[in-house]
Amino acid sequence: MFDRITFDSKIMGGRACIRGMRIPVSVIVGQIAHGATFEEILEGYPDLEKEDIQQALEYAAWLAQEEVHSI
């Protein structure tokens, strides 16, 4: 489902990263949240691809799905 998101206990303590690199998903999503464009992120992280950023956002959206149950 998320083929560009990897988890490795030896890389960034097992945090969700982009393709096994030391670039956490949270950093990418945080930059988008603070107004960075895809182009700005790609300039700052030349090893990233547009699809990496897109999948980071999709992964964050998937994590944020919540179910609210009434009591």
What is the pLDDT at residue 67?
A: 75
pLDDT tens, position by position, for the chain (71 residues)?
899 999 999 999 999 999 999 999 999 999 999 999 999 999 999 999 999 999 999 999 999 987 777 77
Given the candidates 3.40.50.2000, 1.10.10.10, 3.40.50.10140, 3.40.50.10860, the CATH classification of the domain at 5-61 is 1.10.10.10
What is the pLDDT at residue 68?
A: 72
Contacts made by residues 30-33, CB under 8 angstroms, sequence distance 24+:
32/57
What is the pLDDT at residue 30?
A: 97
What is the pLDDT at residue 66?
A: 76
What is the pLDDT at residue 1?
A: 86
Sheet strands (E) in the chain = 5-6, 17-18
Specify the DSSP class assigned to residue 4: T
